[in-house]
Amino acid sequence: MKEENVEKISIAQRKLFLNNGLELAYYDSHPDDGGAADGITEVVVLLHGYCGSSAYWEPIVEELEQHVRIIAPDARGHGGSSATSDDIYTMEMYAEDIAQMLISLQIHNAVLLGHSLGGYVTLAFAEKYAKKLSGFGLIHSTALEDSEAAKGNRDKAVAALEQSGVQPFVDGLIPKLFAPANVEALTDEVERGKQIGYGTALQGAIGTARGMKIRANRTHIIEQSQLPVLLVSGANDKVIPTESTFAAVNGSTVKVVLDGAGHMGMVEQPKELIAAILSFVKSKQ
């Protein structure tokens, strides 16, 4: 892929070669000193959703990085990261990618926040690597497994991708991620979402759909965790409703509903999401 195309679909400005052979692209707000010169001590890792990239976080990164170090990777098969030949991209596989990235960057403690697919990965990571976290959260995501209907939709997605490729699939997907009123009100943002999605590798899109279909129920990860948990939902999310996002809580759970947002709060209600993230990070210090 040509570099100019990568710039359009991702904000990642650095790459790592992981031990598993994956070339992982990522955004680092403070790559030189980790934020020490600015007195920044907290690291927040942002994991994007399906057929997205680190560019999903573009509307909120500039403000967040004034307060915390932001690491935003492109998931394997998405954005500027390489795709692998695996038939199924499991949530555990994605979690291992994040673990290797943090080891390579010598980050030993972070807040991990995942949007949609990224939330499923966050839970898989928290299940195995809780000691590397000071908190974690789901943004428009859920700890529940796929329903039977949702599993059928994953199969339909794979069939559509195999038949027609990524672009037509993304054209149908992205408008559904926005609150109905915002599809018309935020036409530029919807188009931007499509352009980002076009950068998803076909194998990445197919493998990830299969991986999401077989993911485990991880409500117990939240319920039994001693870590603070942030749960963010969109009041008008037609993909993952609020009751699914709030399906599991613990004693240190913060629940936030973004009014007027669908499944893309970082685009639809960026100021409110920034406030929620910074308040969560500050509250656990």
Instruction: Decide if 182 contacts 268 (C-beta within 8 A).
Output: yes
Distances (CA, A) of 168 to 171, 192, 218, 269: 5, 15, 32, 27
| CATH number, residue 65 | 3.40.50.1820
Q: Does the structure show a pLDDT above 60 at 20?
A: yes
Q: What's the chain's average pLDDT?
A: 95
pLDDT on residue 150 = 97
Long-range contacts of 151-155 (CB under 8 A, 24+ apart): 151/213, 154/209, 154/210, 154/212, 154/213, 155/213
Residue 231's SS3 state is strand
Residue with tokens 């949530």: 91
| Domain total in the chain | 1
Euclidean distance between CA atoms 204 and 212, whole angstroms = 12
pLDDT on residue 1 = 29
Instruction: Decide if 23 contacts 237 (C-beta within 8 A).
Output: no
Per DSSP, the chain holds a count of helices (H) and strands (E) of 13, 8
pLDDT on residue 37 = 85
Instruction: Decide if 232 contacts 272 (C-beta within 8 A).
Output: no
pLDDT on residue 285 = 63
Pairing of strands 69-73, 23-28: antiparallel
Distances (CA, A) of 40 to 62, 102, 105, 207, 264: 14, 17, 16, 37, 27
Q: Does the structure show a pLDDT above 60 at 4?
A: no
Q: What is the pTM of this model?
A: 0.96
% of the chain residues with pLDDT over 70: 97
Residue 275's SS3 state is helix
Q: Does the structure show a pLDDT above 70 at 6?
A: no
Which residue type, as a one-letter code, is found at position 261?
A
- Reported as a single tens digit per residue, the pLDDT across 22-69 is 999 999 999 988 888 889 999 999 999 999 999 999 999 999 999 999
pLDDT on residue 177 = 98
Q: Does the structure show a pLDDT above 80 at 284?
A: no
pLDDT on residue 8 = 81
Q: Does the structure show a pLDDT above 90 at 265?
A: yes
pLDDT on residue 158 = 98
2: confidence class by pLDDT, cuts 50, 70, 90: very low
pLDDT on residue 3 = 38
pLDDT (average), residues 196-213? 98
Surface-to-core class of residue 223, CB atoms within 10 Å of its CB (0-12 exposed, 13-18 middle, 19+ buried)? middle
Q: Angle at which helices 117-129 and 202-213 pack, to 10 degrees?
A: 60
List the alpha helices (DSSP H) in the chain: 3-9, 58-64, 91-104, 117-129, 148-164, 166-173, 180-185, 187-198, 202-213, 219-224, 242-245, 265-268, 270-283
Q: Does the structure show a pLDDT above 60 at 88?
A: yes
pLDDT on residue 228 = 97
pLDDT on residue 60 = 98
- Reported as a single tens digit per residue, the pLDDT across 209-239 is 999 999 999 999 999 999 999 999 999 999 9
The domain in which residue 211 lies consists of: 3-283
